[in-house]
Amino acid sequence: MAAIATSPVRARVLGIPVNVSNDVFRDAVALHDAGGGQIVTLNAEMTMAARADPALGAAIENARMVIPDGAGVVWALGLQSRRVRRSPGIELARRLLEHAASCGWRVALVGASPAVMNRLRDRLMHDLPALKLVFTVHGYQTSEVWPGLESQLLQARPDLVLVALGVPRQETWIQGLPQPRSGLWMGVGGSFDVWAGTKKRAPAWMGALHIEWLYRLVKEPSRWRRMLALPAFVWAVLREPR
């Protein structure tokens, strides 16, 4: 395995690792060139989930790159005097797609509903006509077909695989695939829904005020139980910053 190409500084928030980097795109491309690996986009909700779920915790621990996707993680790093910019996973994933189109990377997309995947393919072919999509599959397959799909995906030798199966499944699924495998493998949550135009991101002003969680709660009230993790995260960080 090539030398670690990601930012050498790995901090911890509530025991969960996160890379301290000021240019996650540069680090991701370097990781690809060094042989690839898993990229995790860490937010407060996922940090709390990882503390309670050993499989998710192990996936994050073993990932080659963990980026601070959420304002809560950036705040917690700030309490340790580590100044990092928030790096939303959806923005890194989009930049990597654009990079893939411009330099001929082979791209695979896994997850989201069949309708979202169809719209996404159409949109990407329109927006990035040079993009080499070597494998696409929606995320509502029966359990029997997954092993065959995984073999096809690995045989396609992708340089970039974006996986929208939701947390924690996308992280643990990537982690469980056979090694060695090259390319960048990244869980992207609801990004396909946003790119397909079926879901909206919170407006930029809410991001600036660090209240994207409020937008999400209003749009998807069924998430309220999951979102109780946010005050629990703040409380835990104040008691135990690292």
Residues that bind ligand UDP (CB under 6 A): 111-113, 139-140, 164-167, 189-190, 192-193
The smaller minimum CB distance to ligand UDP, of residues 36 and 139, is found at 139
**Cα four-point dihedral sign 90, 20, 72, 83:** negative
How many Å apart are CA 133 and CA 158, to the nearest integer?
9
Nearer to ligand UDP, 29 or 212 (CB): 212
DSSP state of 193: H
Q: Least distance to ligand UDP from the beta carbon of 165, Å?
A: 5
Report the residue number, 152 or 182, with the smaller CB distance to ligand UDP: 152
Q: How far is the CB of 183 from ligand UDP (least distance, A)?
A: 20
Q: How far is the CB of 158 from ligand UDP (least distance, A)?
A: 18
The 3-state secondary structure of 5-67, one letter per residue: CCCCCEEEECCEEEECCCCHHHHHHHHHHCCCEEEEEECHHHHHHHHHCHHHHHHHHHCCEEE
Cα angle 4, 7, 23; round to 5: 130
Nearer to ligand UDP (CB atom), residue 192 or residue 233: 192
Shortest CB 54 distance to ligand UDP, Å = 18
